[in-house]
Amino acid sequence: MDHTAHHTADRTLETAFTELAGVRHPIVQTGMGWVAGPRLVSATANAGALGILASATMTLDGLRSAVREVKSRTDAPFGVNLRADAGDAADRVRVITEEGVRVASFALAPSRELIARLKDAGVVVIPSVGARRHAEKVASWGADAVLVQGGEGGGHTGEVATSVLLPQVVDAVDIPVVAAGGFFDGRGLVAALAYGAAGVAMGTRFLLTSDSTVPDAVKAAYLAATVKDVTVTTKVDGLPHRMLRSDLVDSLETSGRSAALLRALRHASAFRKVSGLSWARMVRDGLALRRGKNLTWSQVLLAANTPMLLKASMVDGRTDLGVMAAGQVAGLIGDLPSCAELVDRVMAEACERLGELAGLGAPR
């Protein structure tokens, strides 16, 4: 066991989520594309939180070997994030069940059938949603818990802030709710619990750890950012996307439609090579995306930008060529702890804050 384990052992908060996921702490590291790989996920798991492997950018074989790599580094439970609309979603679900993965999470709502198949195999299903009606839908279909992200969260995001969305979802469903969007410390965890959530999920905060494989130059750009440097644009893929402001984002904002579509085609062809997908499979996935989100064909094509623009920064370290998805909390984060140090700190702060709050109710 790692040397920090004894610090957190006496500071655990048991919630409906920790029970469900089998983890020590009510903290989730989200499945960020190109970022949440085996190293970050296993470090999170060893720290007692739930790490989620991002599989949308992996081939099927890549997913299986990534899962096995996490298992070789930790005995703790972890999750895999899937695209429910991917053409090979059923094959990916088979990998998850065969490899004994504890949790499956989804960016787009999985079908009732997919949820049932995972639950039959003993996998805990936790879809991610950005609206109350989506939470109600997946809850009625048998999801075990739901992760809800407010508008201040990074990547694809909605307009409603966590402080408004979270109580709305907590009141609407009777399954555990994990809160995402704006969380980075123990105070936030206590605030989420106060709203009725059973835990918090953090993306940007886990990206900015020493266990994250994101290149140093990119981490430096995040650490230098102020709250004002985090913006929402629809110019990357036609959907609202929260990221760090950069020269690239500025040029995307001002570029014309034909230039944007041309760039998307170039990125689609590059992603096809990286992911090993055929054009036919990509078109089928595009059709599913179009149906799922009512997108125009040009928006579907623009969606091809996302994986490659993220890869340029998160893997290749090109802050000039890539987009850097970021929650607004990037402006509040100034260090790179290990996952163990981060989880330890969050739990210590949370327990201290809970003690102070308990004191407020004590008779004078």
Half-sphere exposure of 159 (CA within 13 A, CB side): 2
**Does residue 42 sit in helix, strand or coil?**
helix
Classify domain 5-213+334-358 by CATH number: 3.20.20.70
Residue matched to tokens 């290149």 = 215
Q: What is the predicted pLDDT for the residue at 87?
A: 85
Two tokens, residue 117: 């198949």
Q: What residue ranges in the chain does DSSP mark as E strands?
A: 27-29, 50-54, 79-82, 103-106, 124-129, 146-149, 155-156, 177-180, 199-202, 230-233, 241-244
Q: Show pLDDT as tens, one digit a residue, over the chain (364 residues).
A: 444 444 444 689 999 999 999 999 999 999 999 999 999 999 999 999 999 999 988 999 999 999 999 999 999 999 999 998 888 999 999 999 999 999 999 988 899 999 999 999 999 999 999 999 999 999 999 999 999 999 999 999 999 999 999 999 999 999 999 999 999 999 999 999 999 999 999 999 999 999 999 999 999 999 999 999 999 998 887 789 999 998 888 877 877 767 766 766 776 666 666 666 676 666 766 766 666 666 666 666 666 677 878 888 999 998 888 889 999 999 999 999 999 999 999 999 999 999 999 999 877 6
Check: CB of residue 233 under 8 Å from CB of residue 249: yes
Measured in degrees and rounded to the nearest 5, phi and psi for residue 105 equal -120, 155
Q: What is the pTM of this model?
A: 0.89
Residue matched to tokens 């983890």 = 23
- The H or E element that residue 302 is part of is helix 297-303
Count of other CB atoms within 10 angstroms of residue 291: 10
Q: What is the predicted pLDDT for the residue at 3?
A: 46
Q: What is the predicted pLDDT for the residue at 292?
A: 64
Among candidates 223, 213, 209, 188, which has minimal Cα distance to 339?
209
CA–CA distance, 5 with 28 (Å, rounded to integer): 17
Check: CB of residue 105 under 8 Å from CB of residue 77: no
Residue matched to tokens 């970050």 = 40
Measured in degrees and rounded to the nearest 5, phi and psi for residue 319 equal -65, -20
Two tokens, residue 326: 């970021």
| Domain locations along the chain | 5-213+334-358, 226-314
